[in-house]
Amino acid sequence: MNKQMLKWILTQLDDATLITLSTATATKIKGFREITKSNLKLTKPQILTELQKPTKAVRLRDGLRRYVEKKLTEDDITSLRERTQEELEELISNGSHALLDVLIVLMTGEDEEQQLVLADVADQLFTALSPGDNGAKQDDSPATEEAASEDGDTAADSGVQAAIAAEAQARARI
């Protein structure tokens, strides 16, 4: 699983989902008895780090699978898993599905063989929407580049921001 993609996915999830995932993966944060909405602001960086550890991978995948099953219908999930990368890019760009949901669906395939194939498609899709690729949907204005360099953002961070901006634009068109 692509670490950058997993980090991006986890940062895009809402607080309630993050708490649910931390409970499902038995994530413990030193100094806190439990992870709640009231202490999430303090514990969020540690939770994100813990959820990315390889020892949490199976439980995290199961938690993400439950999340996407609540959000999308079974027919939508099956349909997304059967599509090509180009078709998925089109669905994301026209706003019918969010990049976050598509990546989670692809990462949580039913069997191991399917997961390997779908994880590769998810990696390619994420790479296509990240910086350093000519197909990336991002604002290349000098003001944006100056702001990114002043903040010390890496190319990966600005690419994730570009993907988020593209997704927001797609949602605005709806």
Q: Which structure tokens are listed for 33?
A: 């008895």
1 band by pLDDT with thresholds 50, 70 and 90:
low
Given a contact cutoff of 8 angstroms between Cβ atoms, the answer to whether 81 and 46 are in contact is no
**Percent share of the chain, pLDDT over 70:** 74
Q: What average pLDDT is seen over the chain?
A: 78
92 lies in which domain range?
A: 3-128
Q: Is residue 93 part of a domain?
A: yes
Name the domain count of the chain: 1
Q: Which residue has the tokens 């600005």?
A: 158
Task: Report CA-CA distances (Å) from 12 to 32, 46, 114, 116, 165.
Answer: 23, 16, 25, 23, 13
The reported pTM is 0.69
Distance between CA 27 and CA 67 in Å, rounded? 17
Q: Is residue 71 part of a domain?
A: yes
Distance between CA 59 and CA 120 in Å, rounded? 20
> For 64, phi and psi rounded to 5 degrees?
-65, -35
The residue-averaged pLDDT of 145-156 equals 44
Q: Is residue 168 part of a domain?
A: no
Q: Is residue 29 part of a domain?
A: yes
Q: Is residue 65 part of a domain?
A: yes
Q: Is residue 167 part of a domain?
A: no
pLDDT, one tens digit per residue, over 38-63 is: 999 999 999 999 999 999 988 999 99
Nearest in space to 128 (alpha carbons), one of 154, 170, 90: 90
Q: Is residue 164 part of a domain?
A: no
Q: Is residue 157 part of a domain?
A: no
Write b or e for each residue in 29-64: b if 16 or more Cβ atoms lie within 10 A of its Cβ, otherwise e: beeeeebeeeebeebbebbbebbeeeebeeebbebb
